[in-house]
Amino acid sequence: MEPLEEAELCFPQLPNSSCRRDERSLSVSLITYILLSSISLLTVTLNLLVIISISHFKQLHSPTNLLLLSLGVSDFFIGFLMIFQIMLTDGCWYLGDLMCALYYLMGCIATSTSIGNMMLISVDRFMAICFPLHYSTKVTQTRVQVCVCLCWICSTVFGSLGIDLEHPGRFNSCSGECVFVIDYITGRVDLFLSFIFPVTVIVVLYMKVFVVAVTQARAMRSHTVTVKVQTSVNIPAKKSEMKAARTLGVVIVVFLMCLCPYYCVSLTGQDTLLNTSSSAFVICLFYFNSCLNPVIYAFFYPWFRKSIKLIVTLKILQPDSCDTNIT
């Protein structure tokens, strides 16, 4: 029985202070490792393709794509951090208290920045569709760069406020544990700044964008009826309405599905204790949104599919490949 008991400990050499592993079958552990590893690899790969595409090709250096680039960078780090979440699936942390605090800090910065970038993208699309005549003068490269920098700075400052790097591991009850405590005030502030406010902005702006897009599509269809070009143009107008509804609906629904469970868990108590092993599902679902972001925001663009072909075939290594026409 003694070897079995030691096998259940994170650190068998510390039987009096070591945490115990989570009890689960070998098949469940194997499926969990494979699933999380696949999500992490896919997240890193997709966002790396976004980063390389927008950074390399000069034709893609626009204010909108700069926001997509910032989103890709933040989501790339989230995918990389999922590697550390994988090691916590059995309930043991082997990298020490300081690395645990840094892992949480980097996770807070990356996720907050990712959500902030999504909000900036919604503002950008709102301006482009609802105020097309003023878009080029209001949304400039310089202003977008400033907004992106402020997004990263604010996320870093806010994330640093809740982390005590001088006393890491002070909430751990045993060796091999990586936990963090969210007190009532910090939890409510985080809930508002990281969820309620950005979700409200995104939903309101996208609803306005949707209404304007549908109105424009109907106006175009009415115009085609007036000029007696009914059959050939009428069908594409209907498809554009459905495409706008479907795309905007996917953006909102996926975002809420991935983020709501995490913030619901964080509201379960006044002093919420989130253990990274017991809350692995909601945290990984939270991270999974970063895997879907490049699909939602980038795969809808034809230039992204073309740039992938150039990257995979290594044609971007050719001289003057940055000037390639991919739009």
User: What's the whole-number mean pLDDT along residues 149-153?
Assistant: 95
Q: For the structural domain made of 39-323, what CATH number should be given?
A: 1.20.1070.10
pLDDT band at 49; cut points 50, 70, 90: very high
User: What's the whole-number mean pLDDT along residues 198-221?
Assistant: 80
User: What's the whole-number mean pLDDT along residues 57-75?
Assistant: 91
Res. 10: pLDDT tops 90: no
For the stretch 299-315, pLDDT in tens is 777 888 888 889 988 88
Where in the chain are the domains?
39-323
Predicted structure pTM score: 0.82
User: What's the whole-number mean pLDDT along residues 283-296?
Assistant: 80
The amino acid sitting at 72 is G
User: What's the whole-number mean pLDDT along residues 205-212?
Assistant: 83
- Which range, 139-143, 248-252, 262-266, is most confident? 139-143
Q: Tell me what the pLDDT averaged over the chain comes to.
A: 78
**Confidence at residue 98, expressed as pLDDT on a 0 to 100 scale:** 84
